């Protein structure tokens, strides 16, 4: 029978500092409110209080690169311990949740503990979230490989509320690792279940948390950038088709021509963003490989982390090539659309010139009317009494 000692639930979560149309100052305000809510959540759920200095350090994103918010309390008649640790790095905010309980538990008991610890997981901030990875770990007092595999499936079902199939497995610090993704690789969510062979290995894993934090960040950036490339591709195709339908500019009114100009501009911007996603993937693939090499060098020689390399190999084989192919396909379209842009711009200028001439003609007519009115008024100045007495003439002058 599987028995797990000191089960620990971790969450690695990543949020971009800047999104499209959202600057860093605005994002920082939202994220600070999110962090402040964590302290309030711990106070309400675990009756944990923090000093003003503790809260100030935790919320001071610009002044403190890293800060902790530790907690100890009773949850569902079970003492839980842990911390939130947040980082402010170059282009994203990182949050690490670390919750654990002491003691020895059977598989079904661990699942109930996970449900309790999940109660402390906050809703992600309403910002551009890159992705997240759950990690469930502890050391095995007893249990077979088959029991460990089935236990990992229970953990996945508990966290994601559905059945899952492992996409990879290996060995880390002598313990069994089982990895789950979402229904498909594009789902930017991951679960790692790590069952260490003894307490010493479980303690040694603390030296790897920063390595995991970096490695998983690169992984999520790769998938996030690829997801963005798919959205950009769909929008590029849609805009191109709509613009081509407007190629007969003689049939379009001025507003339709202006709309076409806007879509042409958006097409060029989106193509630049697509190239940016390509660069993001290439850079983070290199960082991922370098960090994985560091982890392998620190781990035991007998450890098997090929499942982590498999992700990199698949991503390297598919993602950059697909995006580069899309870029190559859209580049000629941009040249065609740039030619169409010149045509539309010329048509817009002609239409505006015609509109301006019509306006000038109207102004001229009004000017003549005003001039005539002025002459009449001047000529009639000596006959003010007579004019005022004549209702018909007086009404005509007032109207003019």
Query: Residues with Cβ < 8 Å from 219, sequence gap 6 or more?
Result: 131, 133, 190, 284, 288, 311
Q: Cβ-count burial of 393 within 10 angstroms (0-12 exposed, 13-18 middle, 19+ buried)?
A: middle
List the one residue out of 23, 380, 389 whose CA is nearest residue 400. 380
Q: What is the mean pLDDT of residues 257-274?
A: 80
Confidence at residue 188, expressed as pLDDT on a 0 to 100 scale: 77
Quick: pLDDT tens for 111-122: 999 988 988 887
List the one residue out of 70, 124, 129 whose CA is nearest residue 100. 70
- How does the average pLDDT of the chain come out, rounded? 82
pLDDT of 384 strictly over 50 = no
- Output phi, psi for 113, to 5 deg: -65, -40
Cα distances (angstroms) measured from residue 88 to each of 66, 129, 238? 7, 14, 37
- DSSP per-residue codes, 299-357: S-TT-B-HHHHHHHHHHHHHHHHHHHHHHHHHHHHHHHHHHHHHHHHHHHHHHHHHHHH
Overall pTM surpassing 0.85 (yes/no): no
Quick: pLDDT tens for 147-184: 898 999 999 999 988 888 888 999 999 999 999 986 55
Question: C-alpha angle with apex 302: 301 to 303, nearest 5 degrees?
Answer: 95
β-pair partners for 375: none
């Amino acid at each position: 029978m599987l028995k797990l000692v000191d089960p620990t639930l971790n969450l690695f979560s990543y949020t971009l500092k800047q999104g499209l149309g959202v600057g860093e100052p605005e994002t920082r305000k939202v994220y600070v409110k999110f962090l402040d809510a964590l302290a309030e959540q711990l106070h309400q759920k675990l009756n944990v209080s923090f000093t003003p200095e503790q809260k100030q350090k935790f919320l001071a994103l610009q002044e403190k690169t890293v800060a902790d918010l530790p907690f100890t309390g009773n949850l569902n008649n079970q003492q839980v311990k842990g911390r939130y640790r947040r980082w402010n790095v170059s282009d994203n905010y990182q949050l690490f949740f670390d919750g654990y309980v002491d003691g020895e538990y059977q598989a079904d008991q661990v699942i109930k503990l996970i449900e309790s610890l999940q109660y402390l997981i906050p809703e992600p901030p309403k910002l551009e979230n890159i992705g997240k990875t759950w990690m469930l770990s502890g050391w095995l007092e007893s249990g077979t490989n088959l029991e460990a595999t089935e236990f990992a499936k229970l953990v996945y079902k508990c966290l994601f509320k559905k059945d899952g199939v492992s996409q990879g497995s290996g060995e880390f610090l002598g313990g069994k690792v089982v990895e789950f993704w979402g229904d498909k690789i594009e789902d930017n969510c991951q679960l790692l279940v790590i069952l260490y062979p003894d307490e010493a290995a479980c303690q040694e894993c603390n030296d790897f948390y920063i390595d995991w934090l970096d490695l998983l960040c690169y992984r999520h950036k790769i998938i996030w950038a690829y997801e963005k490339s798919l959205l950009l591709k769909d929008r590029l195709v849609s805009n191109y088709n709509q613009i081509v339908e407007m190629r007969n500019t003689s049939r379009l009114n001025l507003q339709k021509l202006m709309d076409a100009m806007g879509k042409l501009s958006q097409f060029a911007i989106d193509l630049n963003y697509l190239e940016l996603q390509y660069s993001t993937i290439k850079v983070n693939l290199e960082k991922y490989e370098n960090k994985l090499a560091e982890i392998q060098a620190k781990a035991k020689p007998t450890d098997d982390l090929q499942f982590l390399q498999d992700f990199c190999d698949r991503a390297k084989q598919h993602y950059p090539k697909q995006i580069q192919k899309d870029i190559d396909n859209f580049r000629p379209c941009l040249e065609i659309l740039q030619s169409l842009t010149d045509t539309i711009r010329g048509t817009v200028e002609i239409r505006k010139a015609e509109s301006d001439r019509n306006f000038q003609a109207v102004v001229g007519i009004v000017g003549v009317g005003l001039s005539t009115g002025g002459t009449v008024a001047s000529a009639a100045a000596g006959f003010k009494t007579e004019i005022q007495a004549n209702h018909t003439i007086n009404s005509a002058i007032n109207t003019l």
